[in-house]
């Protein structure tokens, strides 16, 4: 990262982190020695807030407790949509059922998902990600979720717009063959997969 910044190249950290605010996320990385600021981070929650305001949507939140502050300025009374993120321990039957009841009670249900990852990696192993729970609500309510984070094209386009760079002049570096590599390629960017983090060996001809 020091070499990239020293070269004058523009840089954005595109994360599907939805267990913490950008401020807390950045503080953690700074503590590990990374030169990073909040302004350099493109994350799903702020993008979702923009959508909620533009469309006058009032969310029922099924997210991690530490992410709730990102939605402080959003009206959450009498919800007319559901926003789901990586809620971790908040993914209880009662909480999922409550989100289901909100959606099933709507004539035209709206489900916003802060990513659609299948799993992610922590120090004690792989963990189920938001995508599994998103699919459960999609199936139960016969609704198609609108994905706000990676691999959504809109998410990468937002990062590119922040940098003022066209997709053909950018490269995405990440460990996820679908969310990082696939999402970037669909947006017209090149992509590079690193064999660290959640990387798992996949067939050379992965679509």
Q: What is the pLDDT at residue 117?
A: 87
Q: List domains and CATH numbers for the chain.
A: 1-149 (3.40.50.1000), 167-206 (no CATH)
Q: What is the pLDDT at residue 205?
A: 65
Tokens 């990468």: give the residue: 156
Ordered mean pLDDT values, 10 residues apiece, the chain (207 residues) = 92 92 94 94 92 95 96 96 96 98 96 92 89 97 94 90 94 92 95 87 66
Per-residue HEC secondary structure of 107-174 comes to CCCCEEECCCCCEEEECCEEEECHHHHHHHHHHHHCCCCEECCCCCHHHHHHHHHHHCCCHHHCEEEE
Q: Which residues of 166-200 are buried (b: 16+ CB within 10 A; e: fewer)?
A: ebeebebebbbbbbbbbbbeebebebebeeeebee
Question: What pTM did the predictor assign?
Answer: 0.81
Q: What is the pLDDT at residue 122?
A: 85
Q: What is the pLDDT at residue 202?
A: 65
Give which of 67, 15, 66, 11 is closest to 174, Cα–Cα.
15
Q: What is the pLDDT at residue 203?
A: 62
């Amino acid at each position: 990262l020091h070499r990239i910044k020293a070269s004058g190249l523009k840089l954005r950290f595109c994360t599907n982190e939805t267990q913490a605010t950008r401020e807390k996320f950045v503080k953690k990385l700074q503590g590990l020695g990374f030169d990073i600021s909040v302004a350099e981070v493109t994350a799903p929650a702020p993008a979702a807030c923009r959508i909620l305001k533009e469309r006058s949507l009032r969310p029922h939140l099924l997210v991690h407790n530490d992410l709730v502050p990102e939605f402080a300025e959003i009206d959450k009374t009498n919800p007319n949509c559901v926003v789901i993120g990586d809620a971790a321990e908040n993914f209880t039957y009662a909480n999922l059922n409550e989100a289901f009841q909100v959606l099933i009670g709507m004539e035209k249900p709206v489900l916003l998902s802060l990513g659609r990852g299948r799993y992610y990696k922590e120090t004690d192993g792989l963990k189920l990600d938001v995508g599994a729970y998103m699919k459960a609500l999609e199936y139960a309510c016969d609704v198609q979720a609108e994905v706000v984070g990676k691999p959504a094209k809109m998410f990468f386009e937002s990062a590119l717009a922040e940098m003022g760079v066209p997709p053909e002049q950018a490269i995405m570096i990440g460990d996820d063959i679908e969310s990082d590599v696939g999402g970037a390629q669909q947006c017209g960017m090149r992509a590079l997969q690193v064999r660290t983090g959640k990387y798992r060996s996949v067939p050379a001809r992965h679509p």
